[in-house]
């Protein structure tokens, strides 16, 4: 996927200007920026759920707006930031819904769809909840079911808006490890929004920094996840500490009277 001179605007405010960006197979991009910088707006635009305000998003040499929806749903999966469940669907039903792009004319799910759905639930450690009403789940359980649905959709590109939201530490790490494997072994592409620099750095190959006024910085993690750039992007001093082979990002201390 790539963007050509992409512009995103909300009311009079330009969120992203002249974004020329390319996401390759096997790459894991982390999108970083302050609240309101435009990260979710960008992800929804990449997913084809919102039009561009200038330029375009291109997937396999075809503008995203020109893709038939069912074909697009076999290419990219999107995890939105929040969700509300109006109806009492079972967990397994919500994950099976993600298999619809693969039903040509058949109405009912096949054995293969059920196998894919159960495998995704297992990967997210929520297979024991398959028969539960989604409205009865905890926040973290619901988030893991939503990620399972994205996995069951089995697309080459995953667009994930804060995937570790509401997850406990162990599940944050296991989701990150899973995303790392999807990129490194299966050559899937991941674009994820994260406010956790350390989690992002643990798996990202690249980062896109949105400065909130249209400006942006894109590059490898080593190029752009640098203290001065991150501090300017996040509006707060960021310090980098080396711990063995690991790099740890710390928020600079506030001075207390
Ligand atoms: N329909 C709308 N009307 C007015 N402003 C909007 C609308 N939709 C989004 N915005 C504004 O656009 C800006 C970008 O929103 P967006 O959700 O993309 O930010 P974000 O970077 O994902 O933020 P966060 O880190 O809080 O999730 C915000 O200031 C938001 O208030």
64-73 tens-digit pLDDT: 999 999 999 9
Task: Specify the residue with its C-alpha closest to ligand 1, atom 2.
Answer: 10
Point out the ligand 1 atom lying closest to the alpha carbon of residue 81: 27
Q: What is the mean pLDDT of residues 211-234?
A: 97
Residue 47, classed as helix, strand or coil, is: coil
Pairing of strands 28-32, 206-210: parallel
* Unique residue bearing structure tokens 């939201």: 165
| Centre of ligand 1 from the C-alpha of residue 215, in Å | 16
| Centre of ligand 1 from the C-alpha of residue 41, in Å | 7
Whether the pLDDT of residue 133 is over 80: the answer is yes
Q: How confident is the model at residue 254 (pLDDT cuts 50, 70, 90)?
A: confident
pLDDT digits (tens, 9 = 90+) for 37-47: 999 999 999 99
| Centre of ligand 1 from the C-alpha of residue 143, in Å | 21
**Residue to mutate (ligand 1; options 39, 194, 197, 233; most atoms within 8 A of CB):** 39
Buried residues in 96-122 as b, exposed as e (16+ CB within 10 A): bebbebbeeeeeebeeebeebbbbbbe
| Centre of ligand 1 from the C-alpha of residue 212, in Å | 10
Per domain, the residue ranges of the chain are 82-154
pLDDT at 112: 86
| Centre of ligand 1 from the C-alpha of residue 77, in Å | 21
Point out the ligand 1 atom lying closest to the alpha carbon of residue 212: 21
ipTM given for this complex: 0.96
Task: Specify the residue with its C-alpha closest to ligand 1, atom 9.
Answer: 10
pLDDT at 105: 61
Mean of per-residue pLDDT scores for the chain: 94
How wide is the angle at C-alpha 248 spanned by C-alphas 250 and 163, nearest 5°? 90
Q: Which tokens sit at 142?
A: 């619901």
pLDDT digits (tens, 9 = 90+) for 143-188: 999 999 999 999 999 999 999 999 999 999 999 999 999 999 999 9
Q: How confident is the model at residue 256 (pLDDT cuts 50, 70, 90)?
A: low
pLDDT at 47: 97
């Amino acid at each position: 996927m790539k963007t050509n001179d992409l512009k995103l605007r909300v009311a009079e405010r330009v969120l992203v200007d002249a974004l020329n960006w390319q996401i390759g197979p096997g790459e894991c991009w982390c999108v970083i920026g302050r609240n309101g910088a435009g990260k979710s707006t960008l992800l929804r635009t990449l997913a084809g759920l919102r039009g561009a305000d200038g330029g375009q998003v291109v997937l396999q040499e075809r503008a995203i707006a020109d893709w038939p929806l069912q074909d697009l749903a076999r290419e990219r999966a999107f995890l939105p930031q929040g969700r509300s469940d109006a109806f009492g669907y079972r967990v397994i039903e919500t994950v099976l819904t993600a298999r619809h792009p693969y039903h040509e004319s058949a109405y009912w799910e096949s054995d293969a769809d059920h196998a894919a759905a159960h495998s995704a639930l297992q990967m997210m450690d929520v297979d024991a909840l398959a028969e539960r009403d989604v409205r009865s789940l905890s926040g973290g359980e619901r988030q893991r079911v939503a990620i399972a649905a994205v996995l069951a959709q089995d697309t080459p590109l995953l667009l994930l808006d804060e995937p570790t939201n509401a997850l406990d530490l162990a599940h944050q790490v296991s989701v990150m490890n899973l995303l790392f494997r999807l990129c490194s072994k299966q050559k899937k592409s991941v674009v994820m929004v994260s406010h956790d620099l350390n989690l992002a750095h643990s798996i990202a190959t690249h980062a896109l920094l949105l400065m909130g006024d249209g400006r942006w910085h894109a590059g490898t993690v080593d190029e752009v996840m640098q203290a001065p750039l991150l501090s300017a992007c996040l509006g707060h001093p960021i310090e980098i500490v080396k711990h063995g082979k690991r790099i740890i990002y710390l928020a600079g201390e506030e001075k207390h009277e």
